[in-house]
Chain A
Amino acid sequence: MSKANSVMNVSSADRIDDLVVSLAPVRRVRKRTGLLVVAAATLLAIALSAPVFGLRPDLAAMNPAEIVLLRSGALLLTGIAAALAVTASASPGVGSRREGWRWALGAMLLFPAASGLLILGGAPYPLEILAASSVPYCIGISLSSALAIGGLLTAWLRRGAVTELRRAGWLTGLAAGALGTFVYNLGCPSNSVHYVALWYGISVGSAALAGRLMVPPLLRW
């Protein structure tokens, strides 16, 4: 590629000659590899955090509370759908956008919606969740896991040809944030929908925002 670095004073025929001469076989960028990277990073985060911070007793006993099943499902769906969309964008194509992640995110937004409806319905807001001792762990584990997942996903995406950088940034952050928060959720002691709405929402939202701000410059080509 050294000769191909400048477009000045080279005819397109010469350019093609250069590119043909420098051709080497390549391994295709496959979406499933990106998904495996995301899955491996998530499992690694679980493997690192679970022995230190522990699993919920009901999960360890394979008898989780309903709220744990619901929030785990919503977080996983959101994370997987966002990861599917962003890994697909590594191999671009006009008209090939995937937007299924919007529906999964809609499912995740049911938690703040439910929290808001309960408050509007007159249910007392559990103020203790604002200063719960688990909050630093919630934010810390969620975001550090998201950083690991998002970092590895971004490194993989750099092999691709992402053409919509801001979208990819949001989706990378959303996937990493949802899956990172899923990691924390396995040990989260709270059963409150308000807790999920507030602190999980902050974790996922801030990871998505961080992705939007940090990822696009890394994917530019």
Chain B
Amino acid sequence: MRADDASLSALMSKAQAGDREAYRAVLEHSRDWLVRFYRGRIDPAGADDLVQETLMSIHAKRATYDPSRPFLPWLAAIARYRWVDRLRRTYRRSETELDETLAEGDHEADVVARISIDRMLARLSEGQGEAIRLVKIEGLSIAEASRRTGQSVSLVKVNIHRGLRKLAEHVESE
């Protein structure tokens, strides 16, 4: 992992100088990493969009990467920011109904990739975490989440609102 990070850091430094081959390598590696990072943490239908949005953010914000620092923490911060933003936007669009539930059969690598986002989720209260997992990640409706958790409909909404706010405050926390 360290060797990967070191080579990615060097490639990104070249990309900042305009090296397109290096940049392609960075983006392709980042895409694969993001697919693992987001798997199980976003509704499957939105996962590819989120990966692409994050790639666009990497592009727009590439000047903010400092080659003297590791690459993956920078990528993870951008990925977390886009993830929280995505959850907030779908919330504002008012409970998009999703039929899919979580894809099963995650690989061991996915578990590793989940740690970063799970650490953020661990900062939430039990009620907030449960509401966000069910509605924002598994795609249940507010009413379904209310029945599943025993929380009232308004409490589910409050827990989502407060939970998202807390997530946004801890994008860079370990």
Chain A residues at the B interface, C-beta cutoff of 8 Å: 1, 4, 7-8, 10, 12, 15-16, 19-30, 89-97, 159-161, 163-167, 221
Contact = CB atoms under 8 A, between A and B. Distances in A.
Contacts, number: 124
- 6 tightest A-B CB contacts, nearest first: A92-B77, A25-B18, A161-B61, A93-B73, A26-B63, A163-B171
B173 interface: yes
B48 A1 contact: no
Given A19-B56, A161-B61, A28 B16 contact: yes
Nearest to B24: A20
27 contacts: A8-B49, A12-B52, A12-B55, A16-B28, A21-B20, A23-B18, A23-B20, A25-B16, A28-B64, A29-B63, A30-B66, A89-B172, A92-B64, A92-B78, A92-B171, A93-B70, A93-B77, A94-B80, A94-B174, A159-B63, A161-B57, A161-B61, A161-B77, A163-B172, A164-B171, A165-B168, A166-B168
Interface residue SS majority, chain B? helix
A168 B56 CA distance: 23
A183 to B, nearest CB: 30
Interface of B: 15-18, 20, 23-24, 27-28, 31, 48-49, 51-53, 55-57, 59-66, 69-70, 73-74, 76-78, 80-81, 116, 168-174
Contacts of B24: 16, 20
Nearest to A220: B85
A91 B56 contact: no
Given A16-B24, A25-B17, A94-B174, A163 B80 contact: yes
A44 to B, nearest CB: 26
B17 A95 contact: no
A16 B27 contact: yes
A91 B27 contact: no
Given A12-B55, A15-B52, A160 B64 contact: yes
Contacts of A30: 66
A157 to B, nearest CB: 11
A23 B78 contact: no
Given A19-B56, A160-B64, A221-B61, A94 B27 contact: no
Q: Tell me the interface secondary structure of chain A in the complex.
A: loop
Contacts of A8: 49
A93 B61 CA distance: 13
B28 A93 contact: no
A27 to B, nearest CB: 6
Contact of B74 (A7, A15, A26, A93): A93
A83 B122 CA distance: 30
Most buried by A among B15, B59, B69: B59
